[in-house]
């Protein structure tokens, strides 16, 4: 593989550049996906049937913690990429691990949140509203879960091969993914939880 | 060219049919709304016919003229990038055509969505609800209900309130006007009127499963006098619609026509508060009852108590 | 036994038993044949594990033709049933299943696959590159499509076919009214092949944006490449909508949620909206590549450059944007009021403007040309008038007030067949004849090709024109029968006769393929049509690496200019070429996805979890895999080039 030294490693080869562009296109599709989910959410928001409305089940504390965890993780993945650009393997791996742990914490609290919803009578089957609420949160959560597995693969490869055009490319693309999930969460936080609680 | 001949034959058939002695239902309206749509359709057919003729003329002219077999061997087609002037022409003319059709569309759509013009009288309200695979017509004002047939007075606007006890259905009386959906969670309003007495056919136009093909009904338009007499007759002869009876009617299958005193609206109110949070309890119960029961298509006729 | 009962077909009829036998016999025949001729290894090495865009294209092509016949048999049965009033050839339930599978198979598994076939084969050649950006993902796309198609097709004999229409409106498609697993098949099979399509979208956008031959700026791309780029952009933005809708529908059916139910706040209209927000762009996903194909073929056989290149591009961009803004025209009758309907009427009719621009540009490409009536050209010339009729009736349907009368009638059926058949199907056949020599190294028979054209073109008109009339006379679509008194009989009989003509036309194409395989001369030049774009600049059959030297491009018709003005395309020296390795992984993932889908359809949760884990493992393996591909050395390339593309 020809490596272009004038570019950061993750852009270094032709295939790497293709991967990054391809991933951006994929994020375009993800935007369409979450856009559809949001549109459906606002269509069904008042369709609560016999079940509770958002304001009755949303709790501020867990959501705030989730937000802080995910925002921080977005910051740490940024640091990981920064370290990677400077060629520091150890720091890269450390920040990756922190990122994934924060993601794990986020998932834990999200699951707790789900249990609270169910206790308050908002199950997946309760109403059109609860169905879309669980679907949109669940889709985001599933993305985070997939991200955690993916991140583990990348960490183990960083351990094994160090910083190569291939691993850097993967790590960089992972960071794009992770930032994207963070952005989606900000939308969920503002337009589902904040708006719902006001 | 064979294509041309077959096209001409096709056009010939179309013209024959459109102007023939037995006109097509949609183009043979018997009320103001149907007339509006029929006019729109004819306007659009003629406009589009002009487009088709122009395109076809250019097409056949060009294809004939520039066939390689008609050219000298050493003809070399020129390189032409395009022409801004022509581009503007064939962008502008379609825009004008579309603009013209848009104006026609907007005016006529508003027209057929509202009470027909020139009909001062209070509209007659009829609830038309579909269940697999039949139509229930409730006349709240007259306090009667019919199944699979409809009597309406001429020259009086009719306001249909449409909803469904099951899948999305589409209420359609081609000679009186266009269709509209009947759905389970909301009530749609369709304004029609008949100004010619007669018998018209109506049907569900939206696919609803096994018995869909036979989900039809008859419409009889008659003078207000006769209509009043018909009401009086029913009041004296028909049985009362009870909740049990209505549940029986809702069972999936086909029924003949039947008539009742009273309507189901009292014990099974329509889902009128569209998008409300109120559970539509009664309607829901009925919908549950509608769940498919296979091989139920055979119990025809035996429910009918009064045929007109 | 209870466990097995669920796999039984609810209403078995003779057609179903016959297909069970047919499927069993075909499978056995294939297995015996492969074993007898010792072809298993060949099949695995050369096809199942291939990542070569050309071979993937050919696999799409074969699948699409198979699906065309599945959908075609459905169509003939429907037309036979409705040919005379009160017919009892098929029952209501059978008819409902057949029109549902007809629609899904034709749009998702036939037309989409055909488009994918031609895009896969042609695009990398046309932009002068060696493969797509992600060859392995490309194979995965195909196998996901294939898994979805197989899953959908076994519904006929295992558990029952879907029966609520290709648009699957809820609540009819919900468990209240569709109890069999049929609609589960619909939801899952479309989901799986939809993911494959989305991956293709990402792959081709990247390929076209990044891998074009040196010098080929965007505005120098051939028109088919342009159309593919725009199509794939539409795919990337439209298919996620379908993904979400199908996920919701699946949850409603299997997990008792209330997205589209009529109780507990469910909203049936949401499905209709989501379906058509995807569905209308979907019809443009089909038609735009077809437009691209026509542009190539018309300019090739008019022996002229494409007229108004720029406005062709801009009009496609306009169409793609508008295609997302018109979905409501599929349910003007839902009661959203005059204002909303007026707005969507106007956006809908506006699409006719860019479409018209394209028609005029094609006409002016023909003008001053030197028209050679080859089979591909005949199909392209047949397209213009018939599609015009389909298009103008689309404008008529777009007028909301009038649509209240056309909606759900045979008039609508006539419209969309008269756009899809001359638009998409003709383009695919034209493309098939046109690129066939590049694919297989011999030409299809022209005489038979022309016969098939006349049969198909005339039969299309015969089949669908009468539907305009019966529609205006009040014949609703999707009715399995009608009574004599309606007077629909004549029109439906004509239509049936037309359908037979169509069947003959398609049979002629298949016979043509058989005939040409046997008798067509093999020593054809690399550029048999005297064409204009880069795919003809390489040898026939195309070597694995497509181009020994990547071409350099100065104009939209680089290859033509090299022939006429002697521009040099290949200026560099031959260097070793990097190639991706074959891989069995995409095929294996296809199989696992098939099992995953099957488990989902029948609610076999343990199997579902296992296959999900299987998919996860495949992805993990892929992540760890170090596959750098291999290099073809220069002397080997030179040897291949000398023999005109043939290996060894
Ligand atoms: C001039 C361009 C076009 C216009 C204005 C147009 C308009 C329409 C309208 C208004 C409908 C809905 C009618 C109804 O349900 O009552 C419709 C249906 C349809 N159109 Fe078109 N159309 C155009 C081109 C196309 C093209 C190019 C294709 C496909 C390649 C296509 C495929 C379809 C299909 C498949 C349906 C029916 C879907 C169904 O209900 O099952 N149309 N069209
Ligand atoms: Cu509503
Ligand atoms: Cu559409």
Q: Are residues B195 and B102 in the same domain?
A: no
Cα(C362)–Cα(A26) distance, rounded to whole angstroms?
35
Indicate whether B289 pLDDT > 90.
no
How many other β-carbons are positioned within 10 Å of the β-carbon of residue C334? 22
Residue B304 lies in a domain: no
Quote the pLDDT of residue A192.
95
Q: Specify the number of domains making up chain B.
A: 2
Please provide residue A5's backbone torsions phi and psi, each rounded to the nearest 5 degrees: -75, -20
| pLDDT 10s digits, B110-154 | 999 999 988 888 999 999 999 999 999 999 999 999 999 999 999
| pLDDT 10s digits, C348-366 | 999 999 999 999 999 999 9
Quote the pLDDT of residue C228.
97
Please provide the distance, in angstroms rounded to a whole number, between the alpha carbons at the two ends of chain A: 56
Residues in CB range of C357: below 8 A, 6 or more apart: B87, B90, B91, B94, C308, C311, C312, C315
Burial class (CB in 10 A: 0-12, 13-18, 19+), C594: buried
Residues written for chain C:
648
Q: CB-based contact (8 Å) between A28 and chain B?
A: no
The domain defined by C49-583+627-642 carries CATH number 1.20.210.10: yes
Quote the pLDDT of residue C627.
78
- The residue whose CA has the least distance to atom 26 of ligand 1 is C419
Cα(C470)–Cα(B159) distance, rounded to whole angstroms?
28
Tell me the whole-structure pTM to 2 decimals. 0.93
Task: Kindly state the tokens that stand for A84.
Answer: 């990677």
Cα(C165)–Cα(C179) distance, rounded to whole angstroms?
15
Residue B40 lies in a domain: yes
Nearest atom within ligand 1 for CA of residue C167: 41
Residues of C within 8 A of B26 (CB-CB) are: 405, 472-474
Report CB contact under 8 Å: C623, A124: no
Nearest atom within ligand 1 for CA of residue C397: 10
- The residue whose CA has the least distance to atom 41 of ligand 1 is C167
Indicate whether C94 pLDDT > 60.
yes
Decide: C142 and C56 in contact? Cβ < 8 Å: yes
C-alpha C416 to ligand 1 mean position (Å): 5
Decide: C285 and C321 in contact? Cβ < 8 Å: no
SS3 for C320?
helix
Q: Which residues of A touch C (CB under 8 A)?
A: 1, 17-18, 21-22, 25-26, 28-30, 32-33, 35-37, 40, 43-44, 46-51, 124-129, 131-132, 135, 149-150, 153-154, 157, 166, 170
Quote the pLDDT of residue A9.
83
Q: Are residues B136 and B283 in the same domain?
A: yes
Integer angstrom CA distances of residue C398 from C319, C331, C366, C384, C403 = 15, 11, 30, 21, 7
* B17: confidence class by pLDDT, cuts 50, 70, 90: low
Residues of C within 8 A of A18 (CB-CB) are: 133-134, 206, 210-211
| pLDDT 10s digits, B77-100 | 999 998 999 999 999 999 999 999
Task: Kindly state the tokens that stand for C277.
Answer: 């927000």
DSSP one-letter code for B68 = G
Q: Is C352 in the pocket of ligand 1 (CB under 6 A)?
A: yes
| pLDDT 10s digits, B24-48 | 999 999 999 999 999 999 999 999 9
Quote the pLDDT of residue B120.
84
- Residue among C237, C234, C359 nearest C286 (CA): C234
How many other β-carbons are positioned within 10 Å of the β-carbon of residue A20? 16
Which chain A residue has its CA at the smallest distance from B280's CA? Answer: A49
CA dihedral sign, ordered C384, C387, C388, C389? positive
Residues of B within 8 A of C396 (CB-CB) are: 41, 44-45, 48
| pLDDT 10s digits, B47-68 | 999 999 999 999 999 999 999 9
C-alpha C334 to ligand 2 mean position (Å): 9
Task: Kindly state the tokens that stand for A88.
Answer: 């520091």
Task: Kindly state the tokens that stand for B14.
Answer: 């179309």
Q: Is C420 in the pocket of ligand 1 (CB under 6 A)?
A: yes
Residue of higher predicted confidence among B182 and C12: B182
Find the CATH number of the domain harbouring B76. 1.10.287.90
Q: Are residues B102 and B213 in the same domain?
A: no
Q: CB-based contact (8 Å) between C483 and chain B?
A: no
Q: What is the dihedral of CA B75, B81, B84, B90, to 10 degrees?
A: 70
C-alpha C75 to ligand 3 mean position (Å): 22
Residue that is written with structure tokens 């029924």 in the block: B255
Give the CATH class of A9-197.
mainly alpha
Report CB contact under 8 Å: A47, B275: yes
Please provide residue A52's backbone torsions phi and psi, each rounded to the nearest 5 degrees: -75, 160
Indicate whether B3 pLDDT > 80.
no
Indicate whether B15 pLDDT > 80.
no
Q: Is C102 in the pocket of ligand 1 (CB under 6 A)?
A: no
Q: Are residues B295 and B185 in the same domain?
A: yes
Q: Is C286 in the pocket of ligand 1 (CB under 6 A)?
A: yes
Quote the pLDDT of residue A53.
92
Indicate whether C403 pLDDT > 70.
yes
Please provide the distance, in angstroms rounded to a whole number, between the alpha carbons at the two ends of chain B: 56
Integer angstrom CA distances of residue B128 from B132, B254, B258 = 13, 16, 14
Report CB contact under 8 Å: C304, B79: yes
* A177: confidence class by pLDDT, cuts 50, 70, 90: very high
Cα(B160)–Cα(B27) distance, rounded to whole angstroms?
22
Indicate whether A76 pLDDT > 60.
yes
What average pLDDT score do residues A41-45 get? 95
Convert C530-563 to b/e letters by CB count within 10 Å (16 or more is b): ebbbbbbbbbbbbbbbbbbbbbbbbebbbbbbbb
Cα(C143)–Cα(C149) distance, rounded to whole angstroms?
10
Domain ranges of chain A: 9-197
Cα(C107)–Cα(C103) distance, rounded to whole angstroms?
6
What average pLDDT score do residues A37-48 get? 96
Q: Which residues in C58-191 belong to E strands, given as ranges?
A: none
The residue range of the domain holding B77 is 2-113
Report the alpha-carbon angle A168-A174-A175, nearest 5.
90
What is the least distance, in Å, from the CA of B272 to any CA of chain A? Answer: 15
Indicate whether C3 pLDDT > 80.
no
Find the CATH number of the domain harbouring B285. 2.60.40.420
- Residue among C250, C349, C324 nearest C603 (CA): C250
Task: Kindly state the tokens that stand for C483.
Answer: 């009574």
| pLDDT 10s digits, C209-257 | 999 999 999 999 999 999 999 999 999 999 999 999 999 999 999 999 9
Q: Which helix (H) or strand (E) holds A103?
A: helix A89-119
Task: Kindly state the tokens that stand for C521.
Answer: 């001369």
* Residues, beta carbon < 5 Å, ion ligand 2: B 186
What average pLDDT score do residues B20-24 get? 73
Surface of B (265-304) touching A: CB under 8 A: 275, 277, 279
Q: Are residues B269 and B143 in the same domain?
A: yes
Q: Is C417 in the pocket of ligand 1 (CB under 6 A)?
A: no
* C646: confidence class by pLDDT, cuts 50, 70, 90: low
Task: Kindly state the tokens that stand for A169.
Answer: 């490319």
- Residue among C210, C40, C62 nearest C124 (CA): C210
* B9: confidence class by pLDDT, cuts 50, 70, 90: low
Q: CB-based contact (8 Å) between C269 and chain B?
A: yes
- Residue among C385, C351, C352, C393 nearest C366 (CA): C385
| pLDDT 10s digits, C546-599 | 999 999 998 889 899 998 888 888 988 889 999 999 999 999 999 999 999 999
What is the least distance, in Å, from the CA of C330 to any CA of chain B? Answer: 12
Indicate whether B12 pLDDT > 80.
no
Of B65, B90, B113, the residue at which a domain comes to its end is B113
Decide: B143 and B263 in contact? Cβ < 8 Å: yes
Report the residue among C285, C419, C422, C425 best suited for mutation to probe ligand 1: largest number of ligand atoms under 8 A from its CB.
C419
DSSP one-letter code for B80 = -
Q: Is C348 in the pocket of ligand 1 (CB under 6 A)?
A: yes
For an interface test with C, which of B27, B41, B274 has the most C Cβ atoms less than 10 Å from its Cβ? B41
Residues in CB range of C148: below 8 A, 6 or more apart: C108, C109, C189, C190, C191, C192, C193, C194, C196, C597
Which chain A residue has its CA at the smallest distance from C627's CA? Answer: A166
Residue B306 lies in a domain: no
Indicate whether A174 pLDDT > 50.
yes
Give me the helices (H) in chain B, please: 2-19, 32-65, 84-113, 224-237, 243-250, 281-289
Indicate whether B281 pLDDT > 50.
no
What average pLDDT score do residues C451-467 get? 96
* C21: confidence class by pLDDT, cuts 50, 70, 90: confident
Average per-residue pLDDT for chain A: 94
What average pLDDT score do residues A76-86 get? 95
Report the residue among C359, C416, C426 best suited for mutation to probe ligand 1: largest number of ligand atoms under 8 A from its CB.
C416
Q: Which residue in the set C342, C360, C474 is minimally distant from B90, CB to CB?
A: C360
Choice among A141-145, B64-68, C4-8, C383-387 with the minimum mean pLDDT: C4-8
Q: Are residues B108 and B130 in the same domain?
A: no
Task: Kindly state the tokens that stand for A48.
Answer: 């609560």
Residue B142 lies in a domain: yes
Give me the helices (H) in B114-200, please: none
Indicate whether B288 pLDDT > 70.
no
Beta bridge partners of B149: B218
Nearest atom within ligand 1 for CA of residue C326: 10
Indicate whether B197 pLDDT > 90.
yes
For an interface test with A, which of B277, B278, B283 has the most A Cβ atoms less than 10 Å from its Cβ? B277
Burial class (CB in 10 A: 0-12, 13-18, 19+), B50: exposed
Quote the pLDDT of residue B86.
94
| pLDDT 10s digits, C527-545 | 999 999 999 999 888 999 9
Indicate whether C108 pLDDT > 90.
yes
Q: How many helices (H) and strands (E) does chain C have?
A: 23, 2
């Amino acid at each position: 593989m020809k490596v272009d030294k004038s570019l950061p490693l993750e852009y270094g080869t032709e295939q790497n550049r293709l991967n990054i562009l391809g991933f951006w296109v994929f994020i375009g599709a993800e935007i369409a996906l979450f856009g559809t989910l949001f549109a459906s959410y606002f269509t069904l928001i008042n369709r609560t049937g016999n079940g509770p409305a958002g304001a009755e089940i949303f709790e501020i504390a867990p959501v705030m913690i989730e937000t802080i965890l995910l925002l921080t993780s977005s910051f740490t993945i940024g640091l990981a990429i920064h370290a990677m650009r400077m060629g520091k393997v150890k720091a890269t791996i450390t920040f990756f691990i922190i990122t994934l742990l924060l993601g794990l914490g986020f998932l834990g609290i999200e699951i707790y949140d789900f249990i609270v919803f169910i206790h308050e009578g908002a199950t997946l089957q309760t109403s059109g509203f609860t169905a879309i609420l669980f679907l949109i949160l669940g889709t985001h959560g599933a993305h985070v879960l997939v991200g955690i597995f993916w991140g583990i693969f990348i960490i183990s490869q960083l351990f094994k091969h160090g910083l190569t055009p291939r691993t850097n490319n993967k790590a960089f693309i992972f960071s794009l993914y992770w930032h994207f999930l963070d952005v989606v969460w900000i939308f969920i936080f503002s337009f589902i939880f904040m708006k719902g609680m006001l | 060219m064979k294509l041309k001949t077959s096209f001409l034959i096709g056009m010939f058939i179309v013209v024959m049919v459109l102007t023939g002695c037995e006109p097509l239902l949609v183009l043979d309206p018997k009320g103001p709304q149907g007339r509006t749509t029929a006019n729109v359709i004819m306007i659009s057919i003629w406009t589009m016919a002009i487009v088709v003729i122009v395109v076809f003329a250019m097409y056949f002219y060009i294809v004939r003229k520039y066939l390689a077999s008609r050219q000298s061997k050493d003809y070399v087609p020129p390189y032409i990038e395009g022409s801004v002037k022509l581009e503007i022409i064939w962008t502008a003319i379609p825009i004008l055509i579309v603009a013209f059709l848009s104006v026609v569309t907007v005016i006529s759509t508003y027209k057929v969505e509202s009470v027909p013009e020139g009909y001062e009288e209070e509209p007659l309200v009829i609830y038309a609800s579909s269940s697999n695979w039949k139509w229930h017509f409730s006349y709240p004002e007259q306090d009667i209900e019919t199944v699979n047939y409809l009597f309406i007075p001429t020259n009086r606007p009719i306001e249909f309130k449409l909803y469904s006890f099951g899948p999305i259905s589409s209420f359609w009386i081609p000679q009186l006007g266009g269709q509209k959906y009947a759905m389970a969670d909301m009530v749609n309003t369709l304004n029609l009127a008949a100004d010619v007495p007669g018998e018209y056919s109506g049907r569900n136009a939206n696919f609803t499963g096994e018995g869909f093909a036979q989900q039809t009904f008859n419409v009889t338009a008659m003078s207000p006098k006769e209509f009043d007499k018909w009401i009086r007759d029913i009041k004296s002869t028909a049985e009362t619609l009870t909740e049990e009876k209505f549940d029986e009617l809702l069972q999936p299958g086909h029924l003949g026509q039947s008539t009742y005193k009273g309507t189901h609206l009292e014990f099974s109110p329509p889902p009128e508060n569209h998008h409300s949070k109120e559970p539509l309890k009664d309607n829901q119960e009925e919908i549950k009852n509608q769940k498919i029961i296979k091989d139920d298509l055979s119990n025809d006729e035996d429910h009918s108590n009064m045929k007109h | 036994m209870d466990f097995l009962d669920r796999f039984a077909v609810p209403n078995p009829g003779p057609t179903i038993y016959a297909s069970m036998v047919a499927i069993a016999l075909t499978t056995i025949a294939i297995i015996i044949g492969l074993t007898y001729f010792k072809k298993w290894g060949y099949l695995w090495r050369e096809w199942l594990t291939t990542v070569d865009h050309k071979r993937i294209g050919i696999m799409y092509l074969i699948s699409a033709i198979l699906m065309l016949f599945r959908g075609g048999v459905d169509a003939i049965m429907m037309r036979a049933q409705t040919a005379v009033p009160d017919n009892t050839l098929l029952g209501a339930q059978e008819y409902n299943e057949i029109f549902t599978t007809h629609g899904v198979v034709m749009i998702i598994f036939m037309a989409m696959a055909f488009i994918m076939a031609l895009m896969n084969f042609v695009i990398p050649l046309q932009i002068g590159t060696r493969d797509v950006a992600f060859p392995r993902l490309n194979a995965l796309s195909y196998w996901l499509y294939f898994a979805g198609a197989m899953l959908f097709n076994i519904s006929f004999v295992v558990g029952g076919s879907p029966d609520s229409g290709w648009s699957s409106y809820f609540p009819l498609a919900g468990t209240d009214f569709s109890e069999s697993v049929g609609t589960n098949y619909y939801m899952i099979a479309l989901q799986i092949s939809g993911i494959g399509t989305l991956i293709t979208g990402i792959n081709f956008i990247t390929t076209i944006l990044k891998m074009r031959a040196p010098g080929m700026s965007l505005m120098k791309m051939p028109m088919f490449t342009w159309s593919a780029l725009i199509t794939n952009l539409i795919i990337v933005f439209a298919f996620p909508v379908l993904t979400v809708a199908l996920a919701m529908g699946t949850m409603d059916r299997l997990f008792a949620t209330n997205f589209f139910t009529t109780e507990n706040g469910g909203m049936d209209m949401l499905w209709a909206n989501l379906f058509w927000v995807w569905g209308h762009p979907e019809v443009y996903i089909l038609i735009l590549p077809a437009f691209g194909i026509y542009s190539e073929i018309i300019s090739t056989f008019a022996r002229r450059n494409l007229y108004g290149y720029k406005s062709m591009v801009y009009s496609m961009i306009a169409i793609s944007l508008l295609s997302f803004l018109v979905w409501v025209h599929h349910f003007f009758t839902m009661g959203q009021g005059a204002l909303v309907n007026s707005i969507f009427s106007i956006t809908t009719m506006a699409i006719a403007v860019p479409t018209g621009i394209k028609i005029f540009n094609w006409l002016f490409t023909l003008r001053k040309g030197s028209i050679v009536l080859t089979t591909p050209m005949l199909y392209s010339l047949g397209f213009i008038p018939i599609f015009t009729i389909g298009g103008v009736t689309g404008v008529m349907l777009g007028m909301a007030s009038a649509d209240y009368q056309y909606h759900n009638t045979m008039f609508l059926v006539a419209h969309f067949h008269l756009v899809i058949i001359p638009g998409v199907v003709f383009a695919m056949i034209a493309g098939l004849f046109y690129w066939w020599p590049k694919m297989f190294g011999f030409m299809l028979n022209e005489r038979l090709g022309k016969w098939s054209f006349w049969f198909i073109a005339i039969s299309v008109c015969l089949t669908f024109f009468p539907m305009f009339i019966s529609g205006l006379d009040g014949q609703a679509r999707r009715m399995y029968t009608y009574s004599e008194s309606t007077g629909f009989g004549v029109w439906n009989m004509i239509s049936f006769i037309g359908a037979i003509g169509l069947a003959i036309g398609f049979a002629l194409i298949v016979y043509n393929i058989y005939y040409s395989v046997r008798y067509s001369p093999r020593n054809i030049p690399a550029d048999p049509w005297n064409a204009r774009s880069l795919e003809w600049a390489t040898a026939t059959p195309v070597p694995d690496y497509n181009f020994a030297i990547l071409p350099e491009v100065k104009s939209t018709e680089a290859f033509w200019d090299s022939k006429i003005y002697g521009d040099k395309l290949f200026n560099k020296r031959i260097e070793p070429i990097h190639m991706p390795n074959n891989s069995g992984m995409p095929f294996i993932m296809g199989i696992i996805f098939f099992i995953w889908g099957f488990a989902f359809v029948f609610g076999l949760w343990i199997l579902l979890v296992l296959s999900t884990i299987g998919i996860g493992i495949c992805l993990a393996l892929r992540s760890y895999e170090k596959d750098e591909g291999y290099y073809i050395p220069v002397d080997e390339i030179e040897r291949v080039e000398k023999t005109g593309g043939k290996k060894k």
